[in-house]
Amino acid sequence: MQYLAEGLRLPTNGLDYAILAIYFAVVLGIGFAARRSVKTSLDFFLSGRSLPAWVTGLAFVAANLGATEILGMAATGAQYGVAVVHWYWIGAIPAMVFLGLVMMPFYYGSKVRSVPEFLLQRFDKSAHLLSSVLFAFASILIAGVNLYALSIVVEALLGWPQWVSIVVAGFFVLAYITIGGLSSAIYNEVLQFFVILAALIPLTLLGLKRVGGWDGLTDSLTEQHGDNFLSAWGGTGIGDANPLGANWLTIVLGLGFVLSFGYWTTNFAEVQRALSAKNLSAAKRTPLIAAFPKIFIVFIVMIPGLVAAVLVPKIGTAGSDLTYNDAIPLLMQELLPNGVLGIAVTGLLAAFMAGMAANVSSFNTVFTADIWAKYVVKGREDDYYLKFGRLITAIGVVASIGTAFLASSFSNIMGYLQTLFSFFNVPMFVVFIIGMFWKRASMKSGVWGLVAGTTAAMVNYFVIYKQGVIDIPSDQGANFVSAIVGFVAGALVMVLVTLFTAPKPEAELAGLVYGTRSPGMEELPEEGDDAWYRKPALLGWGAIVLAAACYLPYSF
């Protein structure tokens, strides 16, 4: 095709650049408008806990709709086929519902500013400090992924070298977060959500038209890759071969439980949006509202990946300069007319900015509130921590620029991110889940559970998998196994340490362990929030039933 000869360069014109310029002007305008409401550190880090559920819900899903979702999931679709639906229907929805119904009352009711701060209240300073450091480090790595994703798009759009794209884009994110804090990030994420949809829906429809509709797409993929490429569960029996390189057990336990719950329930980049809600009812509904668009977003990222697998059969293969991460830019170049192309480019930049802003805003909160204010400079006036929060935001963006180059060494962004989640989020989840449901879990068990889980996951990936001690068919399969190993190791160590160390006094566990309550957990919903269609249980179980029903056409 034409783009293979000419290279990955989008045929943009003045109309496309005008759309892009308008978008950036609006983004910075939202930042300056939000600045008026930032008077305290709570305003800067958590929007003063004042936002309605529909805003925090859309921001919740948009914060995840970054490089992981757009380039990463399209790449996963091109590489593994319909199996990409697992990252949504089993790998997101149950965990999002669990977060809303079970965990948000503890998070919001305890009035913590961050996820690591909850570990300080439940365990001790050592668990708190280690989790804060691990989370801050992981946030910078993940923000770098979004910067790298943006550099792919800008290189295709303008022909700039990747390092120039990374530096310039980092500046824009730095500007609007530093100016307006979390409120700026959240309101921009709501805008970005709709811009992303406006970009991906035309790309999906035009892609299907080019390959002869859904029937033409499935016929071509079956001929090229076999029946299992178009089946969610086909070939996933234990010992069977399938594109994903994982069986049903590792998918259900590794992705559906350990990785999924580890990410959605402990990742502060997501939870922070719910903590900024105006009351407990709105906080609980935040991930539940987000679950419904999450169910259907898979189609507008999976289908472009499948179309790219048909149009560019050599993508991601040995000897090809095109990686799976190029799937979306390739289709944009081939299919979109000017004007629509400008919207699509803007949508990808919006996705990058949403993902990076989520991680940078959570990083500045954790570093300021959980590390700097707790262990380095204690007891200063609030204005000092507000100014420091802005400073550390700039440092975080600079660090993210450095980690963006690390992400460029991976051909599939999603594989890289899943590796990071198995190292950092899974051990934190096991500590949370045991600490939240077992009163006897001792104060010291938290830190040793984190150490054991992280170490075990890394050993499994770098030693057992990379050195070929055990044959695991793919990086994704290895990530699922690493997650399971990290979870089991962390849980066992927590139980063993608990048997030999002192538990936290029961009087200090109110509102921190299931079966106990704190005053914040007894908060009644405001008038209107108690309407039947806003009931958290109805929203949560409705999302799970709908996600399960979506599997039916792809299970046989």
Each residue's pLDDT tens digit, 236-260? 787 777 667 778 888 888 888 888 8
CA separation, residue 98 to residues 95, 351, 446 (Å): 5, 25, 21
Query: pLDDT band at 359, cuts 50/70/90?
Result: confident
The pTM of this model reads 0.84
Q: Per mean pLDDT, which of 141-145, 162-166, 317-321, 409-413 is the most reliable?
A: 141-145
pLDDT, position 3:
36
- pLDDT of amino acid 2: 36
pLDDT in tens, 488-538: 999 999 999 999 998 888 888 888 888 777 665 666 556 566 777 788 999
pLDDT for 4 equals 35
Q: Which of 100-109, 317-326, 407-416, 487-496 has the highest mean pLDDT?
A: 487-496
Instruction: Tell me what pLDDT residue 96 has.
Output: 95
pLDDT at 5: 32
Token output for 227:
């029946």
CA distance 139 to 410: 18
Q: Which one is predicted more confidently, 284 or 352?
A: 284
C-alpha R_g of the chain: 23
Strand partners, 441: none
Query: SS in 3 state form for 202-271?
Result: HHHHHHHHHCCHHHHHHHHHHHHHCHHHHCCCCCCCCCCCCCCCCCHHHHHHHHHHHHHHHHHHHCHHHH
Domain ranges of the chain: 2-121+144-385+546-554
Q: With 70 as the cut, is the pLDDT of residue 413 above it?
A: no
Q: What is the pLDDT of residue 523?
A: 61
pLDDT the model gives residue 473: 64
Mean local confidence (pLDDT), 3-18: 65
User: pLDDT tens digits for 110-145?
Assistant: 888 888 898 899 999 999 999 999 889 888 888 887
State CA 177 to chain mean position distance.
18
Report which listed range, 97-101, 169-173, 264-268, is most confident.
Answer: 97-101
Decide if pLDDT at 445 tops 80: yes
pLDDT above 90 covers a percentage of the chain that reads 26
| Residue 41 parent element (H or E) | helix 41-46
pLDDT at 7 over 60: no
Q: What is the mean pLDDT of residues 76-104?
A: 91
Please say if the pLDDT value at position 451 is more than 90: yes
| Bridge partner list, 277 | 51
State the DSSP string of 321-341: S--GGGHHHHHHHHHPPTTHH
Q: Is the pLDDT confidence value at 440 over 80?
A: yes
**In the prediction, which pLDDT does 111 show?**
83
With 50 as the cut, is the pLDDT of residue 1 above it?
no
pLDDT score of 409 more than 60: yes
Averaged pLDDT for residues 152-175:
74
> What is the reported pLDDT for 9?
65
Contacts of 511 (CB under 8 A, 6+ apart): 106, 109, 110, 517, 518, 519, 520, 521
> Which residues, in sequence order, are bridge partners of residue 503?
442
pLDDT of residue 90: 94
Tell me how far apart the alpha carbons of residues 387 and 330 are, in angstroms, rounded to a whole number: 43
Helices (H), 381-526: 382-407, 413-437, 445-459, 475-500
Q: Which residues in 156-176 are b (16+ Cβ under 10 Å) and which e?
A: bbbeeebeebbbebbebbbbb
Q: Please check the confidence at residue 302 and state whether its pLDDT lies above 70.
A: yes
Higher per-residue pLDDT: 433 or 226: 433
Highest mean pLDDT (candidates 46-60, 152-166, 209-223): 209-223
CATH number of this structure's domain 2-121+144-385+546-554: 1.20.1730.10
Look at 119-128, 311-320, 543-552 and tell me which has the smallest mean pLDDT: 311-320
Which residue in 367, 342, 329, 393 sits closest to 173, CA to CA?
393
Residue 457 has pLDDT above 80, yes or no: yes
pLDDT over 90 at 431, yes or no: yes
46 pLDDT tier (thresholds 50, 70, 90): confident
Cα dihedral value 21, 25, 26, 31, nearest 10: 140
Region 335-358: mean pLDDT is 79
Q: Picking from 299-313, 322-336, 450-464, which range would have the lowest pLDDT averaged per residue?
A: 322-336
**For range 226-244, the mean pLDDT:** 78
- In this predicted structure, the answer to whether residue 8 has a pLDDT above a threshold of 70 is no
Average pLDDT for the chain: 84
pLDDT computed for residue 6 by the predictor:
43
pLDDT of the residue at 138: 86
Max avg pLDDT among 5-19, 107-121, 160-174, 337-351: 107-121
If we measure between CA atoms, which residue out of 357, 350, 401, 406 comes closest to residue 196?
350
Assess whether pLDDT exceeds 90 at residue 372.
Answer: yes
